[in-house]
Amino acid sequence: MERERVSEAVIRRLPGYYRYLSQLERGGMKRISSQELGSRMGLTASQIRQDINCFGTLGQQGYGYNIPELRARIGEILGIGQDRRVALIGAGNIGQAVAQYPGFLNMGFRIRYIFDVEKPPVGEKIAGIRVQHINLLEEELSANPPDIAVLASPAEKAQSLADRLIAIGIRAIWNFAPMDIVVPDGVAVQNVQLTDSLLVLSYHLNKLEYRDE
Amino acid sequence: MERERVSEAVIRRLPGYYRYLSQLERGGMKRISSQELGSRMGLTASQIRQDINCFGTLGQQGYGYNIPELRARIGEILGIGQDRRVALIGAGNIGQAVAQYPGFLNMGFRIRYIFDVEKPPVGEKIAGIRVQHINLLEEELSANPPDIAVLASPAEKAQSLADRLIAIGIRAIWNFAPMDIVVPDGVAVQNVQLTDSLLVLSYHLNKLEYRDE
């Protein structure tokens, strides 16, 4: 698949590359140098080359990168377009926002199940999917577990729901509950802490105000 | 405020420190060594010490860090509890999720204004705030611009809305539109791309499956 041990920092930059290259491709651009890609993305040319070299030989010295080719390769590395089956746990505001987020679908992530505890939304349809009671989780999913679970529950339920999902055989959890969950080896997790980026913004605002004084 | 030029990577780790220290403090713990803090946060002791040293002398050699003191200091650096006035632009799913996100309020970020274009939600109340039409943006905010705008509009409106917010005098934008916005010097922005963490998760899921084969 790729050379071993790609650092997490490189992985985290890949979605940004993908988005930016997609934008260039839509604009009809065919080639880009590491210098130009770097300056647009706030990275050095050498960092760009290092990042991309992790995944094999993709550019040509003096010719830069072929944009559609590089975008397709990064998309493949990120598993875009694999038609992943997704279960959404928790149909509150965040869950609904995720279920209806543009781009989610056309990257190949398809919500097939939605669970909640309250009625409504249990019994209603969201994004075309009937919301089921969480008590049916094991019954509905065990035979053919979805690839990914989106966990959008209150903080205090997050770990026990994650444990149930893992017991069913789900191997990737995208966690929006405001509490990091812990998973065993062999299960992937991304703990999204929405307020983290707000605090980074707040830090920068403070610095700007301090500069004014 | 702090020693100059703290790297963005350090800043991005601060909210995690804050969350983790808050959790320890709630659990009644008083002190922690850089080794222990590091092992719980997946960082080396030396990285922890380097990060925290950016903000002055906070630990004591051989005694570790005073948890309530360190938490309070990091909270101060991040601007937590400053009673920031926030305007929300776009009251769709994501906007509503943000408006009602737990923790947002008790960190001192208070939504005072909500704007949208459609009716409803224009005229309705969300989180106790009457949603106003976006046409009233300048009239309502110019005299006393909020500290922070949360931008939760469709991608194609994001940049022009950001330009209007900046023209009014808003200096920090938390952007959830699925399109990075560009701001001039003197304005802070955090472009949140929700799907980035999904793609990182998808990458790790692919690796797990590859390992199985």
SS in 3 state form for chain A?
CCCCCCCHHHHHHHHHHHHHHHHHHHCCCCEECHHHHHHHHCCCHHHHHHHHHCCCCCEECCCEEEHHHHHHHHHHHCCCCCCEEEEEECCCHHHHHHHCCCCCHHHCEEEEEEEECCCCCCCCEECCEEEEEHHHHHHHHCCCCCCEEEECCCHHHHHHHHHHHHHHCCCEEEECCCCCCCCCCCCEEEECCHHHHHHHHHHHHHHHHHHHC
Does ipTM top 0.90? Answer: yes
Looking at chain A, the whole-number percentage of residues with pLDDT higher than 90 is 74
CA nearest B203: which of A141, A53, A107, A103? A107
Using CB atoms and an 8 Å cut-off, which of residues 60-119 of chain B contact chain A? 77-80, 82, 84, 92-94, 96-98, 100-104, 107, 109
Per mean pLDDT, which of A94-103, B41-50, B132-141 is the most reliable?
B132-141
User: If you count residue pairs, one on A and one on B, with CB atoms under 8 Å apart, how many are there?
Assistant: 188
Across chain B, mean pLDDT equals 91
Kindly state the average pLDDT of the residues A102-115.
89
pLDDT over 50 at B3, yes or no: no
Chain A residues with CB under 8 Å of B18 CB are: 199
Cβ atoms < 10 Å from Cβ of A156: 9
Residue B212: what pLDDT?
Answer: 81
Q: State pLDDT tens for residues B162-203.
A: 999 999 999 999 999 988 899 999 999 999 998 999 999 999
Chain A residues with CB under 8 Å of B83 CB are: none
Q: Which residues contact A106 (CB under 8 A, 6 or more apart)?
A: none
Distance (Å) from the alpha carbon of A63 to chain B's nearest alpha carbon: 28
Kindly state the average pLDDT of the residues B144-170.
97
Distance (Å) from the alpha carbon of A137 to chain B's nearest alpha carbon: 21
Instruction: Flag the least confident range among A29-43, B68-82, B124-138.
Output: A29-43
Kindly state the average pLDDT of the residues B153-163.
96
Confidence class of residue B4 from pLDDT cuts 50, 70 and 90?
Answer: low
* Residue A204 forms contact with B (CB below 8 Å): yes
Residue B1: what pLDDT?
Answer: 47
Looking at chain A, the whole-number percentage of residues with pLDDT higher than 70 is 96
Tokens of A116: 């909640």
Using CB atoms and an 8 Å cut-off, which of residues 27-56 of chain A contact chain B? none
Answer yes or no: do B94 and A78 touch at CB < 8 A.
no
Residue A4: what pLDDT?
Answer: 55
Which residue in the block uniquely carries the two structure tokens 């010719």? Answer: A63
Confidence class of residue A3 from pLDDT cuts 50, 70 and 90?
Answer: very low
Looking at chain B, the whole-number percentage of residues with pLDDT higher than 90 is 74
Q: State pLDDT tens for residues B19-53.
A: 999 999 999 999 999 999 998 888 899 999 999 98
Residue A63: what pLDDT?
Answer: 82
